Structure 1
Amino acid sequence: MNYKIGIDVGGTNTDAAILDEDLNLVHSVKSPTSEDIESGIFQALHRVLQEANIDQTAVTHAMLGTTQCTNAIVERKKLAKVGVLRLRYPATVSVTPFTAWPQDIVDVLTENYAIAKGGYEFDGKTLSAFDEQEIRDILTSWQGKVEAVAIVGVFSSLKNDQEFYVHDISREVLGEDVSISLSSTIGSVGLIERENATILNAALFKVMQATSDGFEKALAQEGVENAEVYLCQNDGTLMSIDYAREFPILTIACGPTNSIRGASYLAGLENAVVLDVGGTTSDIGVITDGFPRESSVAVDVGGVRTNFRMPDIVSIGLGGGSIVRQAENGEVTVGPDSVGYKISEKALAFGGNTLTTTDIAVRLGKIEIGDSEKVAHITQDFAEKAEAKIAQMVEEAIDRMKTSSGDVTLILVGGGNIIVPDQLKGVEEIIRDEKGAVANAIGASISQIGGQYEQIYIYSQIAREQALQDARGKADEQAMKAGAIEGTIELVEVEEIPLAYHPDNATRLRVKVVGDLMQN
Structure 2
Amino acid sequence: MQKYIIGIDTGGTFTDAVLLEQATGRIIASAKKATTHQQLAIGTGEALAALLETAQITPENISSLTVSSTLATNSVVENKGARVALLIIGYVRHFRLPVKAVIYIKGGHTITGDEEEPLDLDYLVEIVNGLKNEVDAYGVCSAMSIKNPTHELVAEKAISMIDPKPVFCSHRTSDVAGMKERAATAGLHAKLMPIMQEYLAGIKEAMRTLGLTCPISIVSGNGSTISSDKAVEFAGSTVASGPACTAHFGALQTREDALVIDVGGTTTDIAMIKDGAPILAAEGCQIGGWRTHVEAVDMVTGGIGGDSHVMVDTKGSISLGPGRVMPLAMSRNTPDIASWLGTGEKAKLIVGRPEKLAGQDHEVADCLLRLGPTTLHGIKAATGLAGVPLEKTLEQMANLQHIYECGFTPTDALHVLGRIDIGDAAAARLGAEILGAAAGLDAEEFSRSIIAKAEEKIENLIIDYLIQHYWGNSLAGFLNARNDHPVLGVNFSLKIPLIGIGAAARHLLPAVAERLGTSISFPDNCEVGNAIGAAMIGATNLNC
TM-score, normalised relative to structure 2: 0.60
The answer to whether residue 530 in structure 2 is matched with residue 433 in structure 1 is no
- Larger deviation: 433-442 or 386-395? 386-395
1:242 maps to: 229
Q: Distance in 2 between matches of 1:270 and 1:238?
A: 26
SS at match of 2:299: coil
How far 1:239 sits from its partner (Å)?
Answer: 1.6
The answer to whether residue 184 in structure 2 is matched with residue 196 in structure 1 is yes
The answer to whether residue 173 in structure 2 is matched with residue 186 in structure 1 is yes
- Larger deviation: 305-314 or 271-280? 305-314
Distance 1:24 1:335, change over 3 A: farther
1:221 maps to: 209
How far 1:360 sits from its partner (Å)?
Answer: 4.6
Q: Distance in 1 between matches of 2:152 and 2:77?
A: 30
Give the unaligned 5+ runs of structure 2: 333-410, 430-441, 471-492
CA contact (8 A) 2:86 2:183 kept: no
The answer to whether residue 503 in structure 2 is matched with residue 415 in structure 1 is yes
Q: Deviations over 1:92-137 (max 9, x none)?
A: 5x95xxx64567x34xxxx8x78464x3323x25133778x969x9
2:141 maps to: 152
Of 500, 519, 535, the residue aligned with 1:445 is 535
How far 1:336 sits from its partner (Å)?
Answer: 5.6
CA contact (8 A) 1:320 1:358 kept: no
CA contact (8 A) 1:324 1:355 kept: no
Identity of aligned residues (%): 24
CA contact (8 A) 2:416 2:444 kept: no
CA contact (8 A) 2:267 2:303 kept: yes
Give the unaligned 5+ runs of structure 1: 347-353, 450-514
CA contact (8 A) 1:323 1:356 kept: no
SS at match of 1:516: helix
Distance 1:163 1:24, change over 3 A: farther
Q: Distance in 2 between matches of 1:102 and 1:76?
A: 7
How far 1:39 sits from its partner (Å)?
Answer: 2.7
How far 1:246 sits from its partner (Å)?
Answer: 2.0
Q: Deviations over 1:180-215 (max 9, x none)?
A: 423123344322342233133234434333332332
Q: Distance in 2 between matches of 1:128 and 1:196?
A: 23
- What letter corresponds to residue 414 of structure 2 in structure 1? T
2:193 maps to: 205
Of 52, 65, 69, the residue aligned with 1:66 is 69
Q: Distance in 2 between matches of 1:163 and 1:262?
A: 43
Q: Distance in 2 between matches of 1:173 and 1:394?
A: 44
- What letter corresponds to residue 312 of structure 1 in structure 2? M
The 5 Å alignment of 1:62-461 reads 62-70=65-73, 79=82, 84=87, 87-88=89-90, 91=91, 95=94, 100=96, 105-106=100-101, 115=105, 117=107, 119-122=108-111, 124-128=112-116, 150-157=139-146, 159-160=147-148, 162=150, 166=154, 170=157, 179-187=166-174, 188-225=176-213, 227-265=214-252, 267-269=253-255, 271-279=257-265, 281-288=267-274, 290-291=277-278, 294=281, 299=286, 306=292, 308-309=294-295, 311-315=298-302, 317=304, 319=306, 343=329, 356-357=413-414, 360=417, 362=419, 395-402=459-466, 407-419=495-507, 420-421=509-510, 424-447=514-537
Distance 1:75 1:189, change over 3 A: same
- What letter corresponds to residue 12 of structure 1 in structure 2? T
Q: Distance in 2 between matches of 1:306 and 1:44?
A: 33
Q: Distance in 2 between matches of 1:370 and 1:58?
A: 35
2:47 maps to: 44
Of 22, 25, 34, the residue aligned with 1:23 is 25
Distance 1:291 1:115, change over 3 A: same
Q: Distance in 2 between matches of 1:429 and 1:236?
A: 27
- What letter corresponds to residue 156 of structure 1 in structure 2? S
- What letter corresponds to residue 284 of structure 1 in structure 2? I
TM-score, normalised relative to structure 1: 0.62
Higher-helix-fraction structure? 2
Q: Distance in 1 between matches of 2:463 and 2:80?
A: 36
Aligned residues: 413
Higher-strand-fraction structure? 1
1:486 maps to: none
